[in-house]
Structure 1
Amino acid sequence: MNTNPVQASGSVRHGGFIRQHHSMLVAMHQLFDVLLTWGLLAAFVYIAGYAWDVPQQMAAFLSSICFHILANKNGLYLSWRGHSLFGEVRAVFLTWTLVIGVLLTIVFLFDMTERYSGGVMVAWAIAVPVSISFYRVSARIIMREFRRAGVNTRRIAIVGAKEPGLSLARSILSSPWMGIDISGFYDNRVSIGSHPLPEEKGGEKLQVIGNIDALKKEARAGSVDDIYIALPMREEETIKELVEELSNSSCCVHVVPDLFTFKMLNARSREIGGLPVVSVYDTPFDSFDSAVKRIEDVVLSSIILCLIAIPMLIIAAAVKFTSPGPVIFKQRRYGINGEEIEVWKFRSMTTCDNGDVVKQATKGDTRITKVGAFIRKTSLDELPQFINVLQGSMSIVGPRPHAVAHNELYRDKIDGYMQRHLVKPGITGWAQINGWRGETDTLEKMEKRVEFDLKYISRWSIWVDIKIIFMTFFKGFVHKNAS
C-alpha cells in the first residue's frame, strides 16, 4: 500500500501531528490542571502569610482528584476539534463549581471552617477556573493559527452528496476553526462535477469529485485522513462493502447514521452487551446528571421554602376564610416516565376537578374565586409545588405537568407529546418564560408549548436551568395568558 504523504496534487499533507500525539497531550493537560490547582493555592497561602499545612494540602489533593474525575465526565480531555470554545470554557467553570461544592460540603460536615482563610479560599476558587480557561483559550488561538497555516489540518472525504452528508459538510464549513478541509463528495447516485452545496470554499464550490470506486483509490493512496460515510440505511450492503474495502487503507473511517428521518430527542450512542445502539428518544439525565439535578432541586427548594413560608401561611389563610373547601388542591398529573403524581396547588376555584374529564380554567371563569384570581394571575397558587420538589416528584425547572385527562386527550393529537415525561415536571420551564403558559384553548397553543418543552429536554444543562429560573422572575410569574 502506498503510504507516501504526497497527495495527487503534489502538495504535502501537514495534518495529523496533534492527533498522533493526542494521548501525550491529554496527559500534559491533566498534569497542567493539577499543577495549576496546587500552585495557585500554595501561592495564595504564601502571599497571605499562612503555613502550607495539612488542611491546605488536603484541599489541593481533593480538588485535584475531583477535578480530574469531573473533567473526564464533562469531556474536557477529549479532542477539542469539533467542540466550541464557549462550550469548553463553560465545562471548565461547571466542573470547578462542582469541585468547590464537594469541598464546601466536606468542610462543613467535618466542621473545618476555622482551618481555612476565607479570603485565600475565595481567591483560589476564582483564580483556578479563570486560569484554566485562559490557558485553553490561548491554546485554541495558537492551534487556530497553525491550522490557518495548514499545520494540523485534517483532509476529509464525504461519501454521500445528500442528507446527512450535506448537513455534515455545512457544519464543517461553518466552523473553520476545527481545521477540517473537505476534499469533496463521493457518490454513485450523483453526477460527478455537480455542486450539491451553495457554500463556497477557497473560491470553488464543493462538488462531487468521484464515485465510491474512486474514493477507494484515493484512500489507498493516502490522499485523505478521514472518510465520513453518510449514506442512507437502505444502502446497507454498499456501506458494509465500503467499510471492508477501507480496512486496507490508513484512513480513519466514520459512519454518519442516517437518522434525519427521525425526530431526535437526546440521541446518544451506547453499548448493550458489547453491541452499539443509538437512542432516538432518551432522557438527558444519566446517573451523574440526575444527581446534579436533584442536588439543585433540594438546595434551591429548601432555601425558597424558608423564604416563602410566611407568604404561604398568609395565602393559606386567605383561601381558607374566603371560600369553602380545602386550602390545598391536589390534582392527579403525569410525572417522569408517565407515572401518576399528585401536584399541590393553593385552591383557586370553587371546584376541585380531578377525574377523567377536567375542564380547563378560562379567562372570566365563574369557578375562580376572588382570591384565586389573584394568586393564579401572579402564579402564587403554585408555591406549594416546592414541597413536591422536595419530595422528589417534581423539579424546579421542567415541562409543566398537565392533568391526566389532558394528557390522554393530547397524546394522540401531538407528535412527541409524551416525550415531555422523559424528565420530571417542573414549576417553571422554557415554554413558560417564552409565553406559552395558561389556557391552551387551541391545539396550536398546546403544540407550541410541547415544542418548547422538547427543546428544553434536548438542550438541558445546569446553566439552562439557572437561566430559566432567573428569567422566571421577569417573565414567569405574571403573564397575560394566566387565568
Structure 2
Amino acid sequence: MESPAGTAELEHAPERDERGRHKPAERWLVRLTWAVDALGALVPVGVLCAVARQPQPWLTAVLACLSWLAVGTTKNRYTRDELSDGDGAMPVVRDWLTMLGVLAVICVGARLEVDLEVCVLALLPCLGLSVARRKLVHRYLLAMRRRAQALRRVLVVGEAGAVDVVLAELAHRTDHEYVVVGSCLVGEEATDSALPVPARLASEGETPEGARDGETVLRCAAELDADLVFVAPGRQLSATRVRRLAWALHDGGRKLAILPGLLDVSQHRVRLAKAAGLTVMHIDPAARRGLPVLLKQATDRLGALLLLVLLAPVFLAVAAAIRLTTAGPVFYWQIRIGRDLMPFRMWKFRTMVVAADRMRAALETANENDGAMFKIRRDPRVTRVGRLLRRFSLDELPQLFNVLAGHMSLVGPRPPLPEEVERYDGTEIRRLSVKPGLTGLWQVSGRSDLSWDETVALDLSYVDNWSYGRDIDVLVRTVRAVVDGRGAY
C-alpha cells in the first residue's frame, strides 16, 4: 500500500480549523491519556489502602497520582510525538519503577507510614492500565493515518536524489504520520517526483554560506502550509548550511527534522554523543550474546515444551483428521536452511497429497510470488483438511519439536528451502544470521499476501533490530494473526 508520501494524498490532506492550522486530532487523546493515568493511580491506591486500613489512604493516593503524572510529564509521555511513536511496554515499566522511587522519597519526607507491599500491589493496576492505554492509542492513531487523518504536512529539503529516496521510503508504508506536500531542492537537478517544488536553493558556493536558505525554505513552508521540514544533508547541503537553516526555521516557528540517511534502525540501537562540537550518532549492533539472548533461548525451550504439553489434544485431533481423510503419513518433513546456512529437517503436519514435491515442477508457471518463495493461492496439491490446517496455521505446530531441538526459535525469519537460498543475493542471505522462527514479522504482517521485497524487508528488520521485548510483541500478535487467517494458504 502506498503511504501519505504520494501526490494523490494531497487530496486527502489533514483537516484544518478556521485559522488554517491542523485540527488538533490528538489533543483529546493527550487529555484522555492524562486522565487514564491519573485515575489509574488515584482510584486503586485509594481504595486498596482504605480496605487495608492504611493511614491517610486518599493522601497516599493523591501523592501516587501526582508522582505518576510528574514522571510521565518529565519523560514527555503526554506529547504528540510520544503518542505517535509509543507502542512498547518497557518505557512504561521503567516509568513505573521510577515512580515507585519518587513516591518512596515523598512518603519518607512527609513521614507517611504506608505498607510497602500494599502500595506496590495497589499500583499494579496503574501499570497494566497504562500499558494497555499506550497500545490502544497507538493503534487508533495508525488507523487514523490510514484514513489520511492526524497527519503532519512535510516539506523536504535536499538534493534531488536524496529527496527521491525519502519519498520512496515513505511510500512503502502507511503507518507513519507524514504527508509530503512539496520539496525545496538544492541545485538544478531534476527530480522524479511530481510533488510541487515552489523554490530551489542555490548550489554550494553560489551563495555565501547559504545566506538566503532560511528565507527561501520558510517561504516554501508557508506557501505549502507545512508543519515540519525534513532536511536531507548532502554534498551541496553542508553542516554549516544546515545549522544556519535550523536557526532560521526555529526563529520562524517551524519544526525541523534531520534525515541521517539510515534505513530501518530501531531507536534502542541509536545513541547520541558529542565530540569537539560534532553530534556523533552511534549505531549499536543487534544483541547476539548476553542476558537477552540467554533469556530468548530459555523462552524458546521452555515455551516449546509447555506448548507441546498443552496442545497435545490438538496434535491428536489433527493427526486423526489427516489419517481418516487422506492416504499417507500424518507428518511431513522438508530440508530447510537454518542459521549460518546449516540445513535441518523441519517437521509439519501433512497438508498436501503424498506426491506433492514431484508435482511442483509442473506448477512453477503458476507461482504467484514475485521472489524466491513458491506460493499458489489455490494450490491443487493441498487436501481439503490441509486447507483448514493452513487457514489456522495448525500445520506448523510440529515445528515446536524443532524449537525444542534448537534448530529453530519461537520467533524469527521464515525458514527457507535450499533452492530458495541458492537464489539469494548478499542482502537476502543476511536473513540467515539468526535462527528461523515458528512465527515472525512475516507471519503477523500478512504472510503470503506480502511481496518478496516486503518479506525480505521484514526479516532484515527483525535481524537488525532484534530485542526480547519485540519477540514477546510478535508472539502476542501471532494469536490475532492465526485467528484472522489473512494470507494463509
TM-score by length of 2: 0.48
TM-score by length of 1: 0.49
Asked which structure has the greater RCO (Cα within 8 Å, sep 6+), the reply is 2
